[in-house]
Copies of this chain bind each other. A is one copy, B any other.
Amino acid sequence: MKLEKIPKIVAHRLALYHRCLRNLYENGERLISSYELGKFLDLKPSQVRKDLSYFGAFGVRGKGYDVKYLLKTIESILGVSKPWRMVLIGAGNLGRAILNYEELRKCGFEIIGVFDNDPKKIGEQFAGHVIRSVEELEDFVKKSGVNIGVIAVPPKSAQKVADLLVSCGVRYLINFSPIKLKLPPGVLVEDVDISIPFKVLTFKILESEEMRI
């Protein structure tokens, strides 16, 4: 199945469908209509049908979509059906929240190493991990077969950590710091800025209150 036409915004929605479908499946649901799926995700049924048609999933009129088939297909498209081995850099509150985020473990995202440069944290145990010095990162990456590096350090250190990860051979990054990283070609990054949903919410509040000037 060649899927080069799926735009990024659809990938984002597929990630939402994925969580929703897994919950439905775990709750014993076997069929779902585009109307119900849309209701769960605040999308129009026509949008749901269009999104799912990107990869050839078509519901049966009057019955709906097969939940298991849809779930397995979306898992395969998103790549969450295979295990991903990740290192986490930054063992502060954000890093620890990521370590504890159950949804990640459920989807095959496994943190296999946690690193920090704070001598007070190095050697400490958290959530089954020993926090290691970033000086050990290169050796660790070479020995352990790491796919993804997760950057959860303060903004001023984020570029340095990204450079270090790339120099160790990590080509895929999740960046939780609100800065734009400079990266060589071939390195993929997904930025997570926790402030974005707050700004989208206040946009919606103003819109709903018609407080525009």
The reply to whether B188 and A107 form a contact with Cβ atoms under 8 Å apart is no
Could you mark each residue 99-117 of chain A with 1 if its beta carbon is under 8 Å from any beta carbon of chain B, else 0? 0111110010100000000
Q: Is A130 an interface residue (CB 8 A)?
A: no
Contact of A76 among B199, B207, B213 (CB under 8 A): B213
* Residues of chain B within 8 A of A6, CB atoms compared: 203, 207
Q: Is A167 an interface residue (CB 8 A)?
A: no
Which of A61-69, A89-97, A138-146 lies at the interface with chain B? Answer: A89-97
The reply to whether B212 and A3 form a contact with Cβ atoms under 8 Å apart is yes
Chain B: minimal CB distance from A31 (Å): 19
Interface of A is mostly: helix
Give how many A residues have a beta carbon under 8 Å from the other chain's beta carbons: 66
Number of copies: 2
Could you mark each residue 149-192 of chain A with 1 if its beta carbon is under 8 Å from any beta carbon of chain B, else 0? 00000010000000000000000101000101000000011111
The reply to whether A12 and B78 form a contact with Cβ atoms under 8 Å apart is no
* Residues of chain B within 8 A of A212, CB atoms compared: 1-3, 77
The reply to whether B207 and A104 form a contact with Cβ atoms under 8 Å apart is no
Given contacts A4-B207, A102-B155, A194-B103, contact A200 B12 (CB under 8 A): yes
Q: Is A19 an interface residue (CB 8 A)?
A: yes
Look across to chain B and name the residue whose beta carbon is closest to the beta carbon of A180. Answer: B40
Given contacts A94-B93, A96-B93, A212-B2, contact A12 B205 (CB under 8 A): no
* Residues of chain B within 8 A of A102, CB atoms compared: 155, 178
The reply to whether A193 and B19 form a contact with Cβ atoms under 8 Å apart is yes
Given A189-B201, A192-B197; 8 other pairs, CB 8 A cutoff: A9-B9, A11-B199, A15-B203, A79-B211, A93-B93, A172-B205, A174-B201, A188-B205
- Complex A-B: 14 CB contacts under 8 Å: A1-B212, A2-B212, A8-B200, A9-B9, A14-B199, A15-B193, A18-B199, A19-B193, A76-B213, A77-B206, A79-B211, A93-B96, A102-B155, A190-B198
Interface residues, chain A, with chain B CB atoms under 8 Å away: 1-4, 6, 8-9, 11-12, 14-16, 18-20, 40, 76-80, 84, 92-94, 96-98, 100-104, 107, 109, 147-148, 155, 172, 174, 178, 180, 188-208, 211-213
